[in-house]
Structure 1
């Protein structure tokens, strides 16, 4: 699984003009599912994200996690994170999981985050979405459960 994590003061996602999810302070997680991802990738990534110390403490240092702050998470499926742009000019998404499998792993990821007590909101799988956010910091982190970077 590959994720782009953005610390936000607010974020929302709409589909066809209808808001499907919104949060206040917390994390926006753009999530791409790789064809080789397993339930272990879900557990690793969910645990990693909710414990990332990227929120400021009283001294202004990044020492607090989403769990520490009580923030929420907006999870948006984004298969394009698996785009391979090393050859040519058109990205290849051949390593992205097939839609049926990707959807289940995406839903399982949301459930894993909720198991930590995190309030979650989400986009709509395979829909054309508009994501709005106010990045706080800005703070943006890239994660890959297969540790490719």
Structure 2
């Protein structure tokens, strides 16, 4: 799995001009699934993301985690994280997970994030979405379970 995490001041996702998910400060997660991913990859990412200390403490050091600051998560499915751009100018998406598995893993990932007690808002799998965010920092971190 690949996840691009962005620390945000606020974020929302809109489908057909209707906001379907919104958060205050926290993380926007762009989530891509590969066919070789396992549930162990989901557990790894949930643990790493929910424990990630990238919020400032009283000394201005990135030392606090999401729960410590009352942060929230907006999770967005994004198969294009597996774009292959080595040949030509049109990306290939053959490395992205098959839709059935990708949706199942995306839903399970979100359920496991929610089980940690953190508020999780989502977009919808497989639809065109408009994501709006105010990046904070900016802080952007890439997770790739193929390289853990």
TM-score, normalization by structure 2: 0.97
Deviations 1:4-57 (A, max 9, x none): 100001000000101110000100000001111110110001111111111111
1:90 shift after superposition: 1.5
Deviations 1:54-111 (A, max 9, x none): 1111111100111222210000000000111122221111111111111010000001
What is the distance in 2 between the residues matched to 1:97 and 1:28? 21
Q: 2:16 — aligned with what?
A: 16
Gaps of 5+ in 1: none
What is the distance in 2 between the residues matched to 1:88 and 1:31? 25
What is the distance in 2 between the residues matched to 1:83 and 1:45? 20
Q: 2:70 — aligned with what?
A: 70
TM-score, normalization by structure 1: 0.96
Gaps of 5+ in 2: none
Q: 1:4 — aligned with what?
A: 4
